[in-house]
Chains A and B, each alone.
Chain A
C-alpha cells in the first residue's frame, strides 16, 4: 500500500498580516505543518502500520518547506518528495493540483492520496477535489473516519462528516481523501527518527522532472472587492411611521 500525504507548510497562527497586494505576509511568524495535513499524516501512518508499504510526504513549495517534510519523516513517513520550481511560485490551487497530480502519476504505484480538508492560511479547501479531478480518481472530502482500507480488494469505506449528516461511502482505490480535524491524535516526532532524518537529503523534483507540461493558471494579482455602498437608517417617531417610510422607499426604488 502506497499512501501519499500532501502537506503544506503554513504560518503558525492567525496573526498573519495581509500585504498591499492582498497576499499573505507571514514574515517573522513560525512556520508549521498545516493542522489538517497533520491529521492526514497520522491517519496515513496508522494505516501504514496495519497494511505495510510506503507513506510518502509530498509538498509543492520552496526549499524552506523541507523543515516540515523532515518533521513528517520524523513522525514516521517512509519517503518524501518536494516539488520545487521557479515556475511554481505563483500557482493557484488548480495549477498546484495539476502539478501534484502529474507527480503522483509519475510515482506510479500510489493507492491513496490524503490531504487536510483545507489549509489554515488560504483556506480554499479546493486542493483535494482539484487533485482528484486531475488524477481522474474518486474524491472523498471531509472524511472523519476510515472504516476500511483494503489493499487487496482495492477498495475503501469511509465516513464523510458533513454538516448535517454522516455519510458512509465505499469507493474503489486509488482515490483522494481529505480529512477533518480530530480524526485522530497526531503523534509527536520520534527522537530516534529525528536523529536519522535531520540530515537526510529530501528528493526534489523541478518542472522538468515532473514531466508533463502542466498548463497551469497562476495568480496574476489580487484586488479587493469594491466597497459596499453605505446603508441608510430609516427614522421615524414610532414603528408604524418607520415601516411606512421604509415601504415608500422600497416602492420608490421598485424593490416592491
Chain B
C-alpha cells in the first residue's frame, strides 16, 4: 500500500518526483551500509575519524537536498517547505542520522539565515550552504543549559568591530563536520533571554575546536559533539539579527528545526510499519502468518493511525509555512505527536519481530534507539506539552517577529 497517496491537498507532482528521488538515494546509497555505519558509532573512540560521514553530506549537497527550500538566487533548489518535509520523511525512513543533517544544516541554520540574515550574510554563508559546498550547525545547548536556554554561560564581548566569544556548546550535530555554526552567546549576561545574541562562526576562526560525543543510544551513524570557543574573534558583520535578539532567533529556528524532526519521525513510523507488514506476512506461528493474529493486527493498525495523523500535522505546518503564517503551535504539536508516536511505533515493530527485532539483524531496534533522542532534543516532550496547554489556555501567544520566515513563492524562488 502507498501510504503517501491522497495527500494532493498538500502535495503535487513536484513532491512526488522529489520523494522518489530521495527514496532512491536513501535506498541505494545508505540502506546497504547503514547497519555497519550504525555499529561504527557504537565502537568509536577519540576524534571523529569515520569516513562515511563527509562523502554522504557531499552527495546530499550535490543532489540539492541541503538547499531544498532555499530560493534559487541563494543557491537552493527553490522548492517549498513541504518539499523539506518530504526529504526529511524519506531520509529518516532509512536512518535518522540523514535527517539530522537536514534539521541542523537546513532547518536550524540555513532557514535562520534566510529569515534573519542581511543580503551580505545570505550571499556569503547561505549560498554555499544551500549549494551544499559548506555544511552548517547550530550551537544553542550547553553542558548546563538545554530547555532553559536563558541560563547559558557563553559570552560575546564587543571589541571594536568584532566580538570575542567564549563558551562551550554541546550536543551539537555535525560538530566535527560543519564549516559554519550559528552560535548563541550572551552579549549582556545581566539580561537573561534578552541578553542573548546570535553569531555566524566559521570553524576556521582561530579558537574554535570540536570533539565528538561517543556512546550515544541512537543516531550512531551521524556525528554529534561539543564545540568549544576560546577567545574567538567574530566580525560584528557576522552577528545575525540585532544585539539581544538571539533568543527570538533561536526560537524561530526551532520552529523550522522541529518541523524537520516531526517530518523525519513520520518517516520513521512508516519504516516501522513497512518492516512490520513485511515480517508479519512472512513469519508463521500456530500455522498461520502472524499478521492473522488480532493482537499483531492491532499493533499494525495503531502504526497506521500514528503515521497518518503525524503526516497530516506535519503537512499542515508546512502548508502554513508556505503561506507565510506563523506556525509555532502547529509545528510543536506535530513535533510532539510525531516523535512520541515514532518511538511507540518502533517499540511495536520490535514486538512484531519478536526476538529477531531485538538484534540488529533487522532494522527495527535501530529505529527505536533513533526515535528516543527526538523526544528530548529540539524541545523535550514535556516542553511541547506545556506549550500546547498554554496556547489552549490563552496564556501564550505568538508575538510578531521583526523578521518572519518568508512565504514560499513558486515564481520568485525558482
Residues of A within 8 A of B (CB): 28, 30, 67, 70-71, 74, 188-192, 194-199
Q: Are B77 and A188 in contact (CB under 8 A)?
A: no
Q: Are A192 and B78 in contact (CB under 8 A)?
A: yes
Residues in A whose Cβ lies below 8 Å from that of B13: 70, 198-199
Q: Are B14 and A194 in contact (CB under 8 A)?
A: yes
- Shortest CB distance A188–B (Å): 5
Residues in B whose Cβ lies below 8 Å from that of A28: 1
Interface set, chain B 341-383, CB cutoff 8 A to A: none
Interface set, chain B 42-68, CB cutoff 8 A to A: 63-65, 68
Most chain-A CB neighbours within 10 Å: which of B14, B18, B24? B14
Q: Are A188 and B25 in contact (CB under 8 A)?
A: yes
Q: How far is A70 from B78 in the complex, measured between Cα atoms in Å?
A: 18
Residues in A whose Cβ lies below 8 Å from that of B25: 188
Residues of B within 8 A of A (CB): 1-2, 12-14, 16-18, 20-21, 24-25, 63-65, 68, 72, 77-79, 414
Q: Are B18 and A191 in contact (CB under 8 A)?
A: yes
CB-defined A-B contacts under 8 Å, sample of 17: A30-B2, A70-B17, A71-B20, A188-B21, A188-B25, A189-B21, A191-B64, A191-B65, A191-B77, A192-B64, A194-B14, A194-B18, A194-B21, A198-B12, A198-B13, A198-B17, A199-B14
The closest CB in chain B to the CB of A192 belongs to: B77
Contacts A188-B24, A195-B77 given; does A74 touch B17 at CB 8 Å: yes
Residues in A whose Cβ lies below 8 Å from that of B12: 198-199
Q: How far is A196 from B24 in the complex, measured between Cα atoms in Å?
A: 20
Residues in B whose Cβ lies below 8 Å from that of A196: 414
The closest CB in chain B to the CB of A71 belongs to: B17
Residues in A whose Cβ lies below 8 Å from that of B65: 191
The closest CB in chain B to the CB of A70 belongs to: B17
Residues in A whose Cβ lies below 8 Å from that of B78: 192, 195
Most chain-B CB neighbours within 10 Å: which of A30, A70, A191, A194? A191
Q: Are B77 and A198 in contact (CB under 8 A)?
A: no
Residues in B whose Cβ lies below 8 Å from that of A71: 17, 20
- Shortest CB distance B93–A (Å): 14
- Shortest CB distance A34–B (Å): 14
- Shortest CB distance A50–B (Å): 21
Q: Are A190 and B64 in contact (CB under 8 A)?
A: yes
**Given A71-B17, A191-B68, A192-B72, 8 other A-B residues pairs in contact with their CB atoms under 8 A:** A74-B17, A191-B18, A191-B79, A192-B64, A194-B79, A195-B14, A197-B17, A199-B13
Q: Are A188 and B1 in contact (CB under 8 A)?
A: no
Residues in B whose Cβ lies below 8 Å from that of A67: 16-17
Most chain-A CB neighbours within 10 Å: which of B12, B64, B65? B64
The closest CB in chain B to the CB of A197 belongs to: B17
Most chain-B CB neighbours within 10 Å: which of A70, A189, A194? A194
Q: How far is A192 from B63 in the complex, measured between Cα atoms in Å?
A: 9
Q: How far is A67 from B21 in the complex, measured between Cα atoms in Å?
A: 12
Q: How far is A189 from B77 in the complex, measured between Cα atoms in Å?
A: 12
Q: Are B63 and A191 in contact (CB under 8 A)?
A: yes
Q: Are B17 and A194 in contact (CB under 8 A)?
A: yes
Residues in A whose Cβ lies below 8 Å from that of B20: 71
The closest CB in chain A to the CB of B77 belongs to: A191
Most chain-A CB neighbours within 10 Å: which of B2, B20, B65, B78? B20
- Shortest CB distance B63–A (Å): 6
Q: How far is A119 from B126 in the complex, measured between Cα atoms in Å?
A: 44
Residues in B whose Cβ lies below 8 Å from that of A195: 14, 77-79, 414
Q: How far is A74 from B18 in the complex, measured between Cα atoms in Å?
A: 10
The closest CB in chain B to the CB of A68 belongs to: B20
Q: How far is A30 from B1 in the complex, measured between Cα atoms in Å?
A: 9
Q: How far is A28 from B72 in the complex, measured between Cα atoms in Å?
A: 36
- Shortest CB distance B379–A (Å): 29
- Shortest CB distance A120–B (Å): 15
Contacts A195-B77, A195-B78, A195-B414 given; does A189 touch B17 at CB 8 Å: yes
Q: How far is A196 from B413 in the complex, measured between Cα atoms in Å?
A: 12
Most chain-B CB neighbours within 10 Å: which of A67, A195, A196, A198? A195
The closest CB in chain A to the CB of B64 belongs to: A191
The closest CB in chain B to the CB of A73 belongs to: B17
- Shortest CB distance B51–A (Å): 20
The closest CB in chain B to the CB of A74 belongs to: B17
Q: How far is A67 from B13 in the complex, measured between Cα atoms in Å?
A: 9
- Shortest CB distance B163–A (Å): 36
The closest CB in chain B to the CB of A199 belongs to: B13
Residues in A whose Cβ lies below 8 Å from that of B64: 190-192
Residues in B whose Cβ lies below 8 Å from that of A198: 12-14, 17
